[in-house]
Chain A
């Protein structure tokens, strides 16, 4: 230990002699480590942003949409037929054990008016479970109740964007708005949800009872059909099982067989999450590896300067060997010097990297995540760079012939 302390002291002194050179050499490592930390932080932040957006849809979700329709030989896109019913939704809720919540929905759009303000928005017919499925709290007021659905009442929930446009700063709860010219009472204000992964404004929406939407607002030819059924599984573990149960039940209810094509699609929204997480991981990896290259370049700079330093101090090395330094002592001395350079650079780089990540967060509004892991790894890496790139010069120093070294001018 005292040997190590001694080499540390010698190294500190040697670096102090050439402060400017030490600083410039460190700069490579500083930039490398700062870049790695900032890039990984930004990458992790972006990845968290994406996964937050995806989980804003709700967690452990399956989405059932109707299949395609064929009219006059033209096949429309998926979801265009009207094969799913409210009864399907109820059956799924009752008969699939892995399913926690089921939220059938119909969707349309239209103008909403309050006083002299009007706004065109998305109108969704929903059941009370919708908010649970979408994991969406209310800012104020109450949720749509089962009796609202049963009685097809003219009550509605509005999103923040709609509230902003119609009411400004006025509290909307209890006010009457006109949806497609029909008066509705605002019974609740949804909390702000932000953008969906596809970039849509999820707050630009009003929720009305499913039955009200079916009968009074969207005027479907098939009164009991729904546009989609959102299903929340009991947990992420049984999501796959829930998907199988739902598929089996719907196959049975729709009498799907050899003579009848499947008329619905079950989508697992978690797959979307996995895919986008993967892509953001690839981005992090890419950013990290670009930054690592600069770290390697910095390491080469260290090696270069250490070689110069060994040549410059050939005589000193000769003296030390003559006086009784072992090869190991000389090796340790120069290795310590290199590692000291890189770890000092690593610490400064770390501070700069964290500061840089904060700056990006403040300027661009991206979330950045500096994890303890990154810091520990970056620090270990900078020390590793010192050992790796310092070893060759140190070995060169340790293997000098003392007679020639003492004669060196």
Chain B
């Protein structure tokens, strides 16, 4: 399988209030196409910083991040915006849908910035909503949807531009356990269709759905192990859910 992501000795240093904080101190790993990876760690372990770098919202202070073979650190702001638009899909903990906007319009948003014509936008948004099981809900406003449905809209939005990777930052953090299983099932389905998913979580139960666990501590990767992914069908056996 081809390599999608490669981090080479990536470090990130912030200066906060005059104090130098090293959020990442030399992280290296790579992710192949079609993997389902969870990044775990306590808060402050650097996993969010790593996610921001993977999401091209931030650039490494040191080291290199290659996305599809392109060194992201050398790109301009506009090129980064384009990569976020075309190659990456974001799913956030707080859903982050636009308020007072319909599900379909939320899903269309990345296509708007990708200069896709309106008719095509509509078609692709409807298809993405169908993939996450929300066909027929396209004209509901975000505040008329439940948390699980909102997160599904967010996943559809991440999907709509056919990205190389979906990056999910604690996607089930705000959901109850039943909805968590629903959402994780969707991620598994998408993954089985060949989409690479990288997810940050601090819950082992959630990580259990993924095929690889990378554990962070104090800005370093301390463990990187393959894992037999828990299937949604055997959900009753997952402890704590």
Residues of A within 8 A of B (CB): 2-3, 6, 13, 17, 315-316, 318-329, 402-403, 406
Verify A403–B52 contact, CB threshold 8 A. yes
Task: In the complex, identify which listed stretch (B31-39, B82-90, B145-153) lies at the interface while the others stay far away.
Answer: B82-90
Whether A403 contacts B100 in the complex (CB less than 8 A), given A6-B112, A323-B84, comes out as no
Tell me if A's interface is mostly helix, strand, loop or mixed.
helix
7 A-B pairs within 8 Å (CB atoms) are namely: A318-B96, A319-B98, A321-B57, A323-B84, A323-B85, A327-B81, A406-B96
Extra contacts besides A324-B82, A327-B81 (15): CB < 8 Å: A2-B117, A6-B112, A17-B100, A319-B109, A321-B84, A322-B84, A322-B96, A323-B109, A323-B157, A325-B113, A326-B82, A326-B113, A327-B77, A406-B57, A406-B96
4 closest A-B pairs by CB: A324-B85, A326-B81, A324-B113, A324-B84
B92 proximity list for chain A (CB < 8 A): 406
A13 proximity list for chain B (CB < 8 A): 100-101
Verify A326–B57 contact, CB threshold 8 A. no
- Give A246 to B169 CA distance when docked, in angstroms: 96
Closest residue on chain B to residue A409 by CB atoms: B94
A-contacting residues, B66-100, CB 8 Å: 77-78, 81-82, 84-86, 90, 92, 96-100
Verify B113–A322 contact, CB threshold 8 A. no
- Give A209 to B99 CA distance when docked, in angstroms: 88
Q: How far is the CB of A191 from chain B (nearest CB, A)?
A: 66
A402 proximity list for chain B (CB < 8 A): 57
Verify A323–B52 contact, CB threshold 8 A. no
Q: How far is the CB of A215 from chain B (nearest CB, A)?
A: 93
- Give A320 to B109 CA distance when docked, in angstroms: 8
Verify B58–A403 contact, CB threshold 8 A. yes
Verify B57–A323 contact, CB threshold 8 A. no
Q: Size range of the interface on B?
A: 20 to 34
Verify A322–B90 contact, CB threshold 8 A. yes
- Give A402 to B100 CA distance when docked, in angstroms: 21
Verify B81–A325 contact, CB threshold 8 A. yes
Verify A403–B113 contact, CB threshold 8 A. no
- Give A17 to B141 CA distance when docked, in angstroms: 14
B77 proximity list for chain A (CB < 8 A): 326-327
- Give A321 to B55 CA distance when docked, in angstroms: 11
A323 proximity list for chain B (CB < 8 A): 84-85, 90, 109-110, 113, 157
Closest residue on chain A to residue B161 by CB atoms: A324
B114 proximity list for chain A (CB < 8 A): 324
Verify A324–B96 contact, CB threshold 8 A. no
- Give A325 to B114 CA distance when docked, in angstroms: 8
Verify B82–A403 contact, CB threshold 8 A. no
B223 proximity list for chain A (CB < 8 A): none
A-contacting residues, B17-72, CB 8 Å: 52, 55, 57-58
Kindly identify which residue among A2, A320, A321, A328 contacts B115, using a CB–CB cutoff of 8 Å: A2
Closest residue on chain A to residue B92 by CB atoms: A406
A322 proximity list for chain B (CB < 8 A): 55, 57, 84, 90, 96
- Give A324 to B112 CA distance when docked, in angstroms: 9
Kindly identify which residue among B78, B96, B112 contacts A319, using a CB–CB cutoff of 8 Å: B96
Closest residue on chain B to residue A16 by CB atoms: B100
Q: How far is the CB of A15 from chain B (nearest CB, A)?
A: 12
A406 proximity list for chain B (CB < 8 A): 57, 92, 96
- Give A2 to B113 CA distance when docked, in angstroms: 11
